[in-house]
Amino acid sequence: MNVKQRTLNSEITISGVGLHTGKHATLVFKPAPVNHGYKFKRIDLAGQPTIDADVDNVSDTSRGTTITQNGASVSTVEHLLASLVGMEIDNVLIEIDGPEVPIMDGSALIYVEAIENAGYKDQEADREYYEIPHNIHYTEADRKVEMVAMPLDGYRFTCMIDYNSPVLGSQHSAITSISEFKKEIASSRTFCFLHELEMLLEHNLIKGGDLNNAIVVVDKDVSKDELKHLAKLFNREDIDVAREGILNNIKLRHQNEPARHKLLDMIGDLALVGRPLKGHIMAARPGHAANVAFAKKIKAQINREKNKKYVRIYDPNMTPVYDTAQIMKILPHRQPMLMVDKILELTKTHVVGLKNVTMNEDIFMGHFPNEPLFPGVLQIEAMAQTGGILVLNTVPDPENYITLFLKIENARFKAQVKPGDTIIFHCSLLQPIRRGIAQMKGVGMVGEKIVVEAELMAQIVKIKEEIKEQ
């Protein structure tokens, strides 16, 4: 049975102080359409730039996870993202009026409770899990970090920490289903060692800490004077060392709360892969930098598999959906700018087109005449025209419309295309067409080799309207 994507049933507003910056911020969680994923919007900055929660946007992992895009950043995103994954929310826009997500009580509990109160609603599209196909390993020998994602029809997570600390010892935490997140993991708070706390205080790096949002592990002998000094810094009457070897500012919610929090962090960091996961993930001694590197490795595997989807050999002589004459009835282009010879496949969400590259084309008279190559910009044009067939297929009387480029992103040219080659273009919608705007992923192949790929955005425009504007 397919599981539907989910978004929030209503908006959520949460305010608090950032742990590291000490700056107050208000978050507004807003319902979002299918395939939107998690996005942050810095509404306090000019232009209100948006930041995708994507591992490719990670800019810092030194004190939590920071993501940066469009000239804007949001830091300490991991607890918030973990709460969304743990509550199985797929699409949400988070408006924030500051540079850092509030630390709240150091866990994900307040976010989880707010999401639960708002409720969720199922959406029309199915949730697209990424099922781990084979063991994916990540190691850091110097830090003794080991991570592996293994195939499993479900979601299981096992985490081990070991800091060579007589107080913490070696701790384990595990869940066998994401449904256990709320009860077993969400309330686990962040932790640090006393020597780290003193260093952070010395460098003024925890401006939002108040000793109510972190477990402080006492890993050294500490004098009464030092404890009095800490109490003064955090506006407390007194602080002492509890029997468990932690400062008595708070009581442990779980005996292995630090290990549970590391699992929480990792769930949040792996949300940056961009897809809900199915698999068993085991991690020893994880940290934000390692989590992000592991997430990048998983995303790279996803991208390799995406590309393989297009590795299908089409027979150029198969009966086309549209031949050249039929294509000319839809597209306004004519020689030498008509770049599509046949449409081999056409559905509501994707199209497959064919371009025969021949030596007698005008372009080769001037473009490297002694070493003829089909130009990359014309490969993109041919890809766009193929996508244009898909887009124009959604309107009545397509001959009265044209498609105009709005944006080209992530274009890559991976191999030379020469006269005699046949390029097969596969274009698929990244999301449903709205208000005449289409976003597509295009891949061009010669045989089994990808030669070009790009993400395209185009707009459907009525020809008469375009002429009138000009």
> Which positions are catalytic?
288, 367
Dist CA 97 CA 235 (whole Å):
27
According to DSSP, the β-strands at 136-140 and 145-150 are antiparallel
Instruction: Find, among 104, 35, 96, the residue nearest to 66 by Cα.
Output: 96
Q: Return the half-sphere exposure (C-beta side, CA atoms, 13 A cut-off) of residue 138.
A: 23
Instruction: Find, among 77, 246, 66, the residue nearest to 167 by Cα.
Output: 246
Coil vs helix vs strand at 254: coil
Coil vs helix vs strand at 64: strand
Asked if 207 contacts 99 with a C-beta cutoff of 8 angstroms, the reply is no
- CB atoms under 10 Å from CB of 135, counted, come to 11
Coil vs helix vs strand at 301: helix
Asked if 392 contacts 461 with a C-beta cutoff of 8 angstroms, the reply is no
The DSSP code sequence of 135-173 is: -EEEEEGGGTEEEEEE--SSEEEEEEEE-S-TTT-EEEE
